[in-house]
Structure 1
Amino acid sequence: MKRIVAKLHDFNELVMFQHSIFSLPFIFIAMIVAAGGWFGFSLLLLGILAAISARNFAMGVNRYADRDIDALNPRTQERPNADGRLDSTTILLFSVVNALVFIIVAYLINDLAFMLAIPVLAVLGSYSYFKRFSELAHVVLGISLGLAPLAGVVAVSESVPQWSVLLSLGVLFWVAGFDLLYSLQDIEFDKLHGLHSVPSVYGPKATLFISTLFHLNTVLFWWMFVWAAELGFFAWMAVAASALMLGYEHYLVRKDFTKIDRAFFTVNGYLGIVFLVLIILDQWVR
């Protein structure tokens, strides 16, 4: 029993399950807006399964592809893929199983979700390889999480309305922007090992500037989302709260690079939750 618990702990550490908090709120935001409120327990369960299996697949592929790099980086040497607790075959099998779960769940949701399942997996699996030849990897990660709201609206309405595209573009720039900040930790390592990232190619000052531009786009697209979806007061409050939290994130990082973890995990984690709660309130009072 102890071995099973230990292995489950290793898998949890591999994919950092708790970081699902970044994509789940925006899936549910899209589903709530598409349904005009509650979308039902069946779609809630399927949505959670789809989100978790998709993220597990993406993280599994990432850890499989990066096992050699992670073993060299002092920041990542103790990850299960780097220290040998999980071998490459196990990680690959874990990724394949989660891909199959995602495809099955998509089939159970509707025809459009099923048709899009494999293209979505292809995008999710591509991020890990982009940084080996292009600093656009940050944007690819943003696209990967930006697919979450689109998946949510497809699950409910089997369509892709304009407002959902605007919401997704906001998520794209949000994620790409905070990934730029997070990658400031690995500037020297990336340079030494020939990995492509905006900080290693253009430096910290340019990275902070580009991240700021991305997060300004985030606020703009979320403002356009609320307008296009004809939402109310609490939705506008969600956009305002997001702007304040992103501003605080940049303040933390600019003040002290050692605060990157706090900015990345804490601020961004709360941002999604606050946005979701305010959207729920907005639908409740309408």
Structure 2
Amino acid sequence: MNNILKKLNDFSELVMFKHSIFSLPFIFIAMVVAANGWFGWRLFFLGILAAVTARNFAMAFNRYLDRDIDSLNPRTENRPNVDGRLSAKSILTFTLLNALGFIIVAAFVNKLALILAVPILLVIGSYSYFKRFSYLAHLILGVSLGLAPIAGVVAVSETITLWSICLSIGVMFWVAGFDLLYSLQDIDVDKKLGLHSVPSVFGAKNTMLFSKIAHSFTVLFWLLFVINSGSGAFAYLAVIVSAVMLSYEHYLVNKDFRKIDKAFFTVNGYLGIIFFILIIIDTIAN
């Protein structure tokens, strides 16, 4: 039993399971807005399973491909895919099982979800390749998590609405923006290994500027989401709070690069939760 629990913990560390908090709120935001309230326990559990299996697939596939890179980076050399705790075969098996699980879950949701399942997996899996030849990898990561709101509205209404696209684009810029800041930690390693991250190509100062621009677009598209969805005052408040929190995130990083972890995990984690809570309140109030 102890060995099983240890392996589960290793796989959890491999995919950084606790970071699922970044994607879960926005799929449920889309589902609440699409249903104009509670969408039912069935879709609730299917939504969790879809988000978790998709993210597990993307993270595990990335770790599988990045074994060589992670072993050369002091920040990542102790990850389970590098230090021998998990074999390449077990990681690949885990990746394929989660891909299959995502497709099966999509089949239980509806026909459009099933049709989109494989294309979604191809998109979220492509991030692992992009950073080897293009600094647009940060945007691809944003696209991967930005698919969550579209998946949410598809699950509820089997359609793709304008407001869900606006919400998704906002998530895309949000993720790309904070990934730019997070990647500042690896600027020297990326240069050494010839990886095409924005910091290694454009430098730290420009990277921080690009992140600010990305987060400005985040606020803009979330505002367009609220307008096009016909949401009320609490939804507008969610956008305002998000803008304040993103500004605080940049304040932390500008003040001290060592605050990147706090900016990345704490601020962004709470942002999604607060946004979700305010959307629920807005739905109840209206």
TM range (shorter): over 0.9
Residues in 1 aligned to 2:126 and 2:161: alpha-carbon distance in whole angstroms? 26
Shift of 1:40: 0.1
Shift of 1:119: 0.2
Residue of structure 1 in register with 2:76 after alignment: 76
Residues in 2 aligned to 1:99 and 1:106: alpha-carbon distance in whole angstroms? 11
After superposition, the CA RMSD in angstroms is 0.4
Residue of structure 1 in register with 2:186 after alignment: 186
Identity within the alignment, %: 67
Residues in 2 aligned to 1:111 and 1:6: alpha-carbon distance in whole angstroms? 38
User: What per-residue deviation string (whole Å, max 9, x for no partner) do you get for residues 223-248 of structure 1?
Assistant: 01000001001000000000000000
Residue of structure 1 in register with 2:256 after alignment: 256
Residue of structure 2 in register with 1:214 after alignment: 214
Q: Does 1:270 pair with 2:270?
A: yes
Residue of structure 2 in register with 1:42 after alignment: 42
Q: Does 1:151 pair with 2:158?
A: no
Residues in 1 aligned to 2:62 and 2:128: alpha-carbon distance in whole angstroms? 5
Residues in 2 aligned to 1:63 and 1:265: alpha-carbon distance in whole angstroms? 19
Residue of structure 2 in register with 1:141 after alignment: 141
Residue of structure 2 in register with 1:238 after alignment: 238
Shift of 1:190: 0.2
Q: Note the residue ranges of structure 2 that are not aligned, 5 or more in a row.
A: none
SS in 2 for 1:82: coil
Residues in 2 aligned to 1:119 and 1:77: alpha-carbon distance in whole angstroms? 32
Q: Does 1:201 pair with 2:201?
A: yes
User: What per-residue deviation string (whole Å, max 9, x for no partner) do you get for residues 60-80 of structure 1?
Assistant: 100001011111100001100
SS in 1 for 2:78: coil
Residues in 1 aligned to 2:9 and 2:32: alpha-carbon distance in whole angstroms? 33
Residue of structure 2 in register with 1:174 after alignment: 174
Residues in 1 aligned to 2:121 and 2:270: alpha-carbon distance in whole angstroms? 27
Shift of 1:54: 0.3
| Aligned partner letter, 1:42 | R
Shift of 1:198: 0.4
Q: Does 1:281 pair with 2:274?
A: no
Residue of structure 1 in register with 2:32 after alignment: 32
Residue of structure 2 in register with 1:113 after alignment: 113
Shift of 1:208: 0.6
Name segments (4+ residues, structure 1) moved above 3 Å. Answer: none
Residues in 2 aligned to 1:85 and 1:72: alpha-carbon distance in whole angstroms? 17
Residues in 2 aligned to 1:4 and 1:145: alpha-carbon distance in whole angstroms? 30
Residues in 1 aligned to 2:236 and 2:64: alpha-carbon distance in whole angstroms? 41
Residues in 2 aligned to 1:234 and 1:150: alpha-carbon distance in whole angstroms? 22
Please report the TM-score for the alignment, with normalisation by the length of structure 2: 1.00
Residue of structure 1 in register with 2:223 after alignment: 223
| Aligned partner letter, 2:186 | D
User: What per-residue deviation string (whole Å, max 9, x for no partner) do you get for residues 61-107 of structure 1?
Assistant: 00001011111100001100010100111000000000000000000
| Aligned partner letter, 1:24 | L
| Aligned partner letter, 1:146 | G
Residues in 2 aligned to 1:149 and 1:68: alpha-carbon distance in whole angstroms? 33
Residues in 1 aligned to 2:111 and 2:276: alpha-carbon distance in whole angstroms? 27
SS in 2 for 1:203: helix
Please report the TM-score for the alignment, with normalisation by the length of structure 1: 1.00
Which aligned pairs between 1:50-69 and structure 2 lie closer than 5 A?
50-69=50-69
| Aligned partner letter, 1:97 | L
Count, aligned residues = 286
Residues in 2 aligned to 1:233 and 1:140: alpha-carbon distance in whole angstroms? 32
Residues in 2 aligned to 1:196 and 1:85: alpha-carbon distance in whole angstroms? 28
Residues in 2 aligned to 1:135 and 1:148: alpha-carbon distance in whole angstroms? 23
Q: Note the residue ranges of structure 1 that are not aligned, 5 or more in a row.
A: none
Residues in 2 aligned to 1:124 and 1:166: alpha-carbon distance in whole angstroms? 19
Shift of 1:275: 0.1
Shift of 1:35: 0.2
User: What per-residue deviation string (whole Å, max 9, x for no partner) do you get for residues 5-45 of structure 1?
Assistant: 11111001000111000000000000000000000000000
